[in-house]
């Protein structure tokens, strides 16, 4: 195929992030760069602009989480990826997208389960006072 090659994609990643990925890291670019949420979206948008790729078919929920690490519910324990599935974005996939001008991945049709994030509020409202009581009791003992 004509168009940008693998080395062009690797050079783009290096210019954008300042990191040269190893061959193993090139198999999963977003994980290697530790990109989630807006950072991952920005990276993919920059990739699309640089190589004139139509990301209409790109489904971010299969490749990375929605929010940054510190603002996710359950921080510092990361929630599982949507559907328990995480598809890597490899340099090969990015090269194919750059050469064809469109995102090449075809995603399965899955229905998202209802969110259980409402459980965080009761856990905080009950857990923090209990934790405070335990800490106070321990301080008074010593």
- Domain with 109, as residue range(s), is 6-113
In a domain, 90, yes or no: yes
In a domain, 27, yes or no: yes
Give residue-wise pLDDT tens across range 53-68: 999 999 988 888 775 4
Contact 91, 21 (CB under 8 A): yes
CB atoms within 10 A of CB 97: 27
Measured distance CA(138)–CA(142) in Å, rounded:
7
Q: What is the structure's pLDDT at 121?
A: 83
Give residue-wise pLDDT tens across range 19-78: 999 999 999 999 999 898 889 999 999 999 999 999 999 998 888 877 544 555 555 565
Q: Is the pTM of this model over 0.85?
A: no
Q: How many domains does the chain have?
A: 1
CA within 13 Å, CB half, 27: 2
The highest-confidence range among 25-39, 74-88, 106-120, by mean pLDDT, is: 25-39
Q: Reply yes or no: is the peptide bond before residue 32 cis, omega within 30 of 0.
A: no
In a domain, 102, yes or no: yes
In a domain, 128, yes or no: no
In a domain, 139, yes or no: no
Residue 130 scores a pLDDT above 80? yes
Measured distance CA(78)–CA(36) in Å, rounded:
11
Measured distance CA(96)–CA(101) in Å, rounded:
8
Measured distance CA(61)–CA(54) in Å, rounded:
17
Give the CA diameter of the chain.
74
In a domain, 54, yes or no: yes
């Amino acid at each position: 195929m004509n168009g940008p090659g693998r080395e062009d994609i690797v050079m783009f990643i290096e210019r954008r992030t300042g990191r040269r990925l190893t061959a193993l890291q090139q198999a999963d670019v977003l994980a290697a760069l530790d990109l989630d949420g807006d950072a991952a979206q920005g990276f993919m948008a920059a990739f699309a602009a640089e190589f004139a790729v139509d990301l209409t078919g790109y489904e971010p929920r299969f490749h990375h989480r929605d929010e940054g690490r510190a603002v996710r519910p359950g921080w510092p324990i990361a929630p599982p990826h949507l559907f328990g599935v995480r598809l890597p974005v490899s340099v090969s996939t990015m090269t194919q997208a750059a050469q064809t001008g469109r995102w090449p991945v075809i995603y399965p049709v899955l229905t998202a389960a209802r969110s259980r994030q409402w459980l965080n509020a009761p856990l905080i409202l009950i857990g923090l006072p209990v934790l405070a009581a335990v800490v106070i009791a321990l301080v008074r003992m010593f």
